[in-house]
Amino acid sequence: MKKRSFITLLLTLALSCSMAFAAAAQEPAQVEPQNLVLTTTFSENEFAGQFITHMIDKLAELSGGAITVEVFWGGTYAAMGEELAFVGQGGADMSVIGQPMYTDKLSLLNFPSQVITSYEDAINLMDTIAFKNEKTAPLVQEEIEKNNVHMIGSMPGGSNSFITKNEYTSLADMKGLKMGIGMNQTAMEMLGFNVVTMMPWDYYDQLSRGVADAGYMSSTALISMSLHEVMPYFLNDGTHTAGNFITINLDKWNSFDDTTKAIFEEAVADTQAFACETASTMDAGVEAALEAVGGKMNVLNEEDAALVQKAFFETGVSDARGYAAAAGTSEAMEIILPEVAAMVGLELPE
């Protein structure tokens, strides 16, 4: 009886210790309170707004409520193209920075970033070049920090689609169509389209009037603009990209202790996973919206998706070299581009 009682006591103590350790592991980290301000041109309900909200909730959870973030949505603090300087100067503590808006200040982040595998791989490409690769990260970080900001991680972009009035399933089927687009025009010509200069905000009117036969843009953005009402057939291009970096004022970042920094890094990593899952869910929502108007979502086959990636890569390399030349970072860009080419498995153009 005594032996059994002793064993029972040991088991009880072991269980108690295990529960205590588990409880301790689940307790939020003890950090100094941080009441931060985040400015963004995104709205609360769109995709970026969803992952911003998730990140803020995760920061509060991991810190036991010690880290709070007040958000000013829709450009009420800083307009599009102003966020980088605004955060760098301390007008706000944080923002979500899209690198294509800052080719002069963030030239080294404007490398071709399309992948044909997954949202997760798109993030991995962007974050590896920016933060992890021993050759490239120091170069990228030096340019970022010249703006007095620190970047923590990138987020997935939505998938892109060609849109048409009639159903197409391949690039060959669409060859010769008039493509209305305001950027990536050289890439579209390489893919066989006849380019008509057209900005996204003109899409509904001009595509309705037949100024062009097709358009190209983020699938979810096209739905939000009701383009499926006039172009009910979407052909997903099979590529994925990342950008929209979580960004914080560098002085503020440097004032944090290591535990606080770790909380931010964990929250951003968790948000990246959330954003990838959300992006996939939104893709499914696009299909449902198209079916509701008698349209359909098709996806390019792997061969055509590779052609799209190659076209965007080659023109993206040319653009990247141009941005770097203007910014005085050509030497650094020529170190970055071979690393990008190796990761995506494409040959770097001369």
Q: What is the pLDDT of residues 149-170, one digit of tens each?
A: 999 999 998 789 999 999 999 9
- Model confidence over 193-208: pLDDT tens digits? 999 999 888 999 999 9
Closest by CA position to 275, among listed 191, 154, 136, 103: 154
Mean of the per-residue pLDDT values of the chain: 91
Give the pLDDT confidence score for residue 7 in this predicted structure. 44
| Contacting residues for 168 by C-beta, under 8 A, at least 6 apart | 162, 174, 233, 235, 298
DSSP state of 100: G
DSSP state of 134: T
Cβ(58)–Cβ(271) below 8 Å: yes
- Asked whether this chain's domains 32-157+241-283 and 160-236 adopt the same fold, the reply is yes
| Contacting residues for 171 by C-beta, under 8 A, at least 6 apart | 191, 192, 300, 304, 307, 308
Q: Which CATH architecture group holds 160-236?
A: 3-Layer(aba) Sandwich (3.40)
Give the pLDDT confidence score for residue 299 in this predicted structure. 94
Domain spans of the chain, in order of start: 32-157+241-283, 160-236
286-292 mean pLDDT: 93
314-329 mean pLDDT: 97
Give the pLDDT confidence score for residue 119 in this predicted structure. 92
CA–CA gap between residue 153 and residue 127 (Å, rounded): 6
Q: Alpha helices, DSSP H only, in 180-327?
A: 185-190, 203-208, 219-224, 250-255, 258-292, 302-327
- Model confidence over 1-39: pLDDT tens digits? 444 443 444 344 444 444 444 444 457 879 999 999 999
- The fold for domain 32-157+241-283 equals D-Maltodextrin-Binding Protein; domain 2 (3.40.190)
Bridge partners, residue 160, by sequence: 218
Q: Which two tokens stand for residue 82?
A: 């102003």
